[in-house]
Amino acid sequence: MKPKPLFLVVEDNPDHRFLLEWSYQKSNQTCNILFAEDGVQALELLESSPVKPALLLLDYELPRMNGLELVMTLKASPKWKHLPIVMMSSSDDPHIVNKAYFNGASSFLEKPQSYQDFKNVWSLVFDFWSLTARLP
């Protein structure tokens, strides 16, 4: 039996963390999920976790170390450069989207604004990254 994938979600907004976790719990997805509130905490969790995450779901706007800085740090590391990173933002500014992809994000999503949208996006992200994509 294939082990459950670990998803690390980096989100500073407690309401968005709640919506992501709630939509995950209401879905029939089978993965382990770990939350960090900023880029610094995400790095600490990555280095201390015995399990390598299958995916990093990352907010663009974060305190201490923003999402873009975290992407650049991870992509410069031999240990983490192949980690798939899905970046989210409330903004659909093309400049932000381009910067995310240029610096190594695997995908970019506009952050959902409702519970149903969070649930739908979570389901699509999970299905693609854990069931469809072949990960290193």
74 vs 56: CA distance, rounded Å? 10
- Taking the C-alpha atoms of residue 110 and residue 45, their distance in angstroms, rounded to an integer, is 25
- In the block, tokens 């923003």 appear at 66
The encoded tokens of residue 16 equal 């968005």
How far apart, in Å, are the Cα atoms of 104 and each of 10, 61, 83, 136? 16, 16, 10, 15
DSSP 66-119: -HHHHHHHHHTSTTTTT--EEEEES---HHHHHHHHHTT-SEEEEPP-SHHHHH
Q: How far apart are CA 99 and CA 33, in angstroms?
A: 27
- Asked whether 86 and 36 are in contact (CB, 8 A), the reply is no
Q: How many CB atoms lie within 10 A of CB 98?
A: 11
- Domains in the chain: ranges and CATH: 6-130 (3.40.50.2300)
Q: What is the pLDDT of residue 126?
A: 81
What pTM value is reported for the model? 0.90
Low-confidence residues of the chain, pLDDT below 70? 1, 135-136
Predicted confidence (pLDDT) per residue in 63-79, tens digit: 999 999 999 999 999 99
